[in-house]
Chains A and B, each alone.
Chain A
Amino acid sequence: MKIIVCIKQVPETDKVRLDPETHTLIREGVQAIINPFDLYALEAGLRLREARGGQVTLLSMGPPQAEAALREALGYGAESAVLLSDKAFAGADTWATALTLAHAVRKLGGADLIVTGKQAIDGDTAQVGPMLATVLGVPYVAWARKLTLTDDTVLEVERLLDHGYDALRVRLPAVVSVVKEISEPRVPSFKAKMQAKKAVIPTWTLADLGLDPREVGLAGSFTQVVRVFPPPARGASEVWTGDPQELATRLWARLKELGRR
């Protein structure tokens, strides 16, 4: 089995804020981490490899610093990692990201299965996985909580939708995204962590992927951010303290004013 897991380095979102006056990102104390949902994708990939044999390759597009995320992820026990980094990739939307990742997948000689996280916590779009599948021309299944390989060509998937869980059968190669119910990420072993420290992580650039600068990054993006601003402030908060009975009666009176019956 050749399995590719897509990993994104993201800022820790709880820390990201816009300065309400200047509308600039407050970056102090904001750490870069592995997108937490991608650890579930990695765990899913590692378990399938353990069940069927094969290898897990990690793939990430990002600035040079994203190598740190790949190295950390290697510590969980993947065989290899590739970073896609080039000035030309900057400002990519989900389409341009998916296109770039797809070219890297082809350069890696394809894969039987590509696993992504549910979504990246910075953009929260959940679009890169399905777009990647479309560019590669392979099926995509979203929100998997269970993956079972019946043989090397057929994957059984249980996945979450609004009404509950459906079972699907998909012929490989395919792209799947996983939700956190898939299984808790393991604790990296000391040995794997030490190996990861020494691992060589190649960086592939625009030229390595044979892409045109107009196809990638900001230039290759179909969408464009025209404005960023802080979320509209909610009305001023009222904070009430006092006797619980009184608080409850007062609250019900107010809720009735707001139309509750």
Chain B
Amino acid sequence: MTLIVYSEKCTGCGACVEACPFGVLSLEGERLVIGEGCTACGACVEVCEAGALALAEAEGPSPRPEVPPDGIWVFAEQRHGRLAPVTLELLGEARRLAGELAVPVAGVLLGDRVAELAPELFRAGADKVYVAEHPALAEFVEGPFTAALTEMAARFRPEILLAGATYVGRAFIPQVAAALRTGLTADCTAFAIDRERRLLLQTRPAFGGNIMATIITPRTYPQMATARPGVFRRLAEPYADAGQVVPVELSSLQEPGPCTFVGTVEEVRERLPLSEAEVIVAGGRGLKEARHFRLLEELAELLGGAVGATRAAVDAGWIPYSHQIGQTGKTVAPKLYIAVGISGAVQHLAGIQSSDFIVAINKDPDAPIFKVADIGLVGDLFEIVPALIAAIRRDRG
């Protein structure tokens, strides 16, 4: 699509210049100029009362091909036989989308011995499970995973392909999209179907979460997206006990590739991984010292949650990097997020904006965290947190 200006209709009112989210429109005298960076988003077309602006289909490289036959695929991420929770969340979301499109949902398992995970995928929402087993897929390495999923998608042709925006998903799904010559939207937090055009509307945060953007893949298939863990809901009831298992023989994995797995050098052992915790108690520079994180651990334990931290606390060496939340760390989406001694810098907020409920404890009433918190407690954390722990204990007897 490209933006066209009917200059004879343009009144030079400037409404479009105001409306352009990318600031690429300007008036030179009465003449409207489209600068670099127009994404043909159409915001200007909507506000133009004179009807001087329109979006035209560019003579694109290719018209939209026929809808592929194989419905919605969810890449079923697993490690050593344990499924990543986002897989089940995405199968739940895929069911909802599949209902609108009237297509089936398939899970795709890649690994060494993974077929036994198929029933879990059926319960979570899959009609069908593709299984590709190969020793080269025992541990995650970009090359073999890219080759395997690319080959399968090219052979069976899904209309939509979703994967978790985990370290694994974000490492190799872009390569699959590039190999299939199709678009990919990163780290989505909402999906919808445009029924009229039969398109997947993919919504994601950008600019550190200050802006949301809805993105489509209008001309190529599959329509691909990675999705933020913890945002989508798994099905409340099991979908099915069984379904069709399709074993796939891969031809693209014959030789050892240029990149090989050597070994795991460090396992980050967490009692409860941040990505799976319903409650997260996170601490920042306000904790002052490493030993004060004990307080947060105590509170987290009482609430059945996990402990997170800001970059400032991690950089100070108070807690390992695996606990860092935010743009440079993990993105989380718990039911309850308790921010303790955290100012609320945008880079931190980027990682917590999908939380259901946020509580902030900070002694500075002007701290930005109070703008995003559902409840903000102004006060000294060293008084409030112990009192909260005591209140919970008292209540439980």
Q: Which A residues have a C-beta under 8 Å from some C-beta of B?
A: 11, 13-14, 16-18, 22-25, 27, 37, 63, 87, 90-91, 93-95, 98, 118, 121-127, 129-131, 133-135, 138-143, 156, 158, 160-171, 174, 179-181, 214-215, 218-232, 234-235, 237-242, 244-245, 247-249, 251-252, 254-256, 258-260
Contact = CB atoms under 8 A, between A and B. Distances in A.
Contacts of A234: 358, 372, 374
B215 A131 contact: no
A94 B174 contact: yes
A244 B37 contact: no
A10 to B, nearest CB: 9
A223 B205 contact: no
Interface string B364-397: 0100001111111111100111011011100100
Nearest to B302: A260
B139 interface: yes
A77 B200 CA distance: 45
Contacts of A256: 395
Contacts of B38: 90-91, 218
A251 B381 CA distance: 13
B183 A221 contact: yes
A224 to B, nearest CB: 5
Closest 6 CB pairs of A and B: A222-B183, A248-B387, A142-B171, A223-B183, A244-B383, A134-B178
A170 B261 CA distance: 9
Given A13-B346, A232-B212, A234-B358, 19 more contacts: A13-B207, A23-B43, A37-B328, A127-B170, A160-B167, A165-B264, A165-B266, A166-B261, A174-B258, A226-B214, A226-B216, A227-B41, A228-B211, A228-B212, A229-B211, A237-B375, A241-B365, A241-B378, A244-B384
Contacts of A220: 61
A16 B19 contact: no
B41 A228 contact: yes
Contacts of A162: 79, 84, 166-168, 273, 275
B336 A258 contact: yes
B211 A139 contact: no
Interface in B342-372: 345-347, 350, 353, 357-359, 365, 370-372
B21 A14 contact: no
Interface of B: 1-2, 18-23, 36-43, 58, 60-61, 79, 84, 139-143, 146, 166-168, 170-172, 174-175, 177-179, 181-187, 201, 205-220, 257-268, 273, 275, 279, 303, 321-322, 327-328, 335-336, 345-347, 350, 353, 357-359, 365, 370-380, 383-385, 387-388, 390-392, 395
Nearest to B346: A14
Contact of A171 (B168, B185, B258, B335): B258
Nearest to A90: B36
Contact of A248 (B265, B267, B370, B388): B388
**Most chain-B Cβ atoms within 10 A of its Cβ — which of A27, A94, A124, A158?**
A124
A226 B215 contact: yes
A137 to B, nearest CB: 10
A235 B263 contact: no
**Most chain-B Cβ atoms within 10 A of its Cβ — which of A133, A138, A156, A227?**
A227
A95 B327 contact: no
Given A25-B21, A142-B142, A247-B379, A252 B395 contact: yes
**Most chain-B Cβ atoms within 10 A of its Cβ — which of A138, A220, A228?**
A228
A63 B41 contact: no
A98 B178 CA distance: 9
A131 B177 contact: yes
Contacts of A91: 36-40
A131 B150 CA distance: 13
Given A156-B262, A226-B42, A230-B212, A143 B84 contact: no
B50 to A, nearest CB: 19
Given A127-B184, A244-B380, A235 B207 contact: no
B43 to A, nearest CB: 7
Contacts of B212: 228-232
9 contacts: A13-B208, A14-B345, A166-B140, A170-B258, A222-B182, A230-B212, A241-B379, A245-B383, A251-B388
A174 B143 CA distance: 11
A13 B85 CA distance: 30
Nearest to B315: A180
A90 B23 CA distance: 13
A168 B142 CA distance: 10
A245 B303 CA distance: 19
Contacts of B347: 13-14
